[in-house]
Amino acid sequence: KLEFTKTDGVNPLKGVEFTLLKVDEQGKVINGEDGKPVFEKVSSGVNGKYLFEGIPEGNYILRETKTPEGFEKLDDIKVIAEK
C-alpha cells in the first residue's frame, strides 16, 4: 500500500492526479503484448490524499499526470514494493 498527501506547502492540494506504473530495473515502463503498461493504477485523490492498494512486489514509478494551473509537476518518484 502506498499512501501520501500532496499539499501546496500548507494545505492539501486538489485537482492533482497520480499514476503508478511498473518499471524494469532501468526505470523503463513494462508494457504487455497489447502495448499498454502491465501495471497501471491512477488516483485522483480525496482532499489531497492519495492511496494505492494491491500493489504487487516490484519496481514502480509514481508519476504526477495532472497538475492544477499555477503549479509545477513533480519529477517521477521511484517506488519499490516489498512484502
User: What pTM, to 2 d.p., does this model score?
Assistant: 0.86
Residue 46, classed as helix, strand or coil, is strand
pLDDT tens digits for range 16-73: 999 999 999 999 999 999 999 998 888 887 788 898 888 999 999 999 999 999 999 9
Tell me how far apart the alpha carbons of residues 11 and 27 are, in angstroms, rounded to a whole number.
31
Check: CB of residue 68 under 8 Å from CB of residue 16: yes
pLDDT tens digits for range 7-31: 988 998 888 999 999 999 999 999 9
